[in-house]
Structure formats: structure tokens, C-alpha cells
Amino acid sequence: MILQESGEMYLETILVLSKQQTHVRSVDVSEYMGYSKPSVSRAVGLLRDGGYLNMDRNGYLTLTDAGMEIAEKIYERHQYLTAFFQSIGVSPETAAADACKIEHIISDETFRAIKSIGLNR
């Protein structure tokens, strides 16, 4: 199963929330992303069926190894691109918004090249 941008965003959100709190449930994802509970429930079901996350009997979400790999990749890109854009004079708000758009489509090759330039050129 190849994930689309929305699937990557859900995985990244679960990772971010898991860094902030002990347990993550669908309602937390819904509130964080501003999506309806039925939309999140459907996405969680698809990600669970795809082997990217697990849900225990209490409704707590955890990323599988495959889900964690994707979430960490997207999160790293978001963090780095945001900092990079800010380092070249982009406002924090615009840098974060642009990073969120780009993180899903940028190739591994291009991201490695941007990282090789470094933030303190």
C-alpha cells in the first residue's frame, strides 16, 4: 500500500502527539488536525489495515515499525525544511506552512542535497 499525503499527515500527527502525551486516541488526532471524527476514524481504519498503526482495546493508537519509519521521515523533513526556510529569511509561519506542503513531495535526493548545504552556510 502506497500512502498518499493524507496518510503521511496522520502518521506524522500521531508521532507528534505521542511525543506530547502518554496515549494517543482518534479524538486527539481529530482535535489536533481539525478533522471530523468520522474522517479520522476512516483514516485510522485504513492505516491499521495497511499495517501502519495499531489500536488497542482502549482505543490507543501506536505506530507500527512501518508507520514509525514514515512518520519519522516526514517529521524530520518538516522540522528541517522549516528551519532551513527560516534561515533564508522566511517568516516562521510561512516556513512551517511551506514545509508542510513540500515534505510530502520532495524526493529523497533533493532533501539530502538541501541538508548537505546545512543551516549555517
Domain range list for the chain: 5-69, 72-117
Given this model, what pLDDT does residue 5 score?
79
Q: Running DSSP on this structure, what letter comes out for residue 4?
A: P
pLDDT of residue 2: 59
- Provide the grid cell at 99: 514545509
pLDDT at 120 over 80: no
- Which residue, 117, 40, 113, 111, is CA-closest to 78? 111
Task: Give strand pairing partners of 53.
Answer: 63
CATH number of 5-69: 1.10.10.10
Residue 116 to residue 121: CA distance in whole angstroms: 10
**For residue 53, pLDDT beyond 70:** yes
Q: What is the pLDDT of residues 55-104, one digit of tens each?
A: 999 999 999 999 999 999 999 999 999 999 999 999 999 999 999 999 98
Of the CATH numbers 1.20.1440.130, 3.40.50.720, 1.10.60.10, 3.10.129.10, which one belongs to the domain with range 72-117?
1.10.60.10
Distance CA 87, CA 47 (A): 35
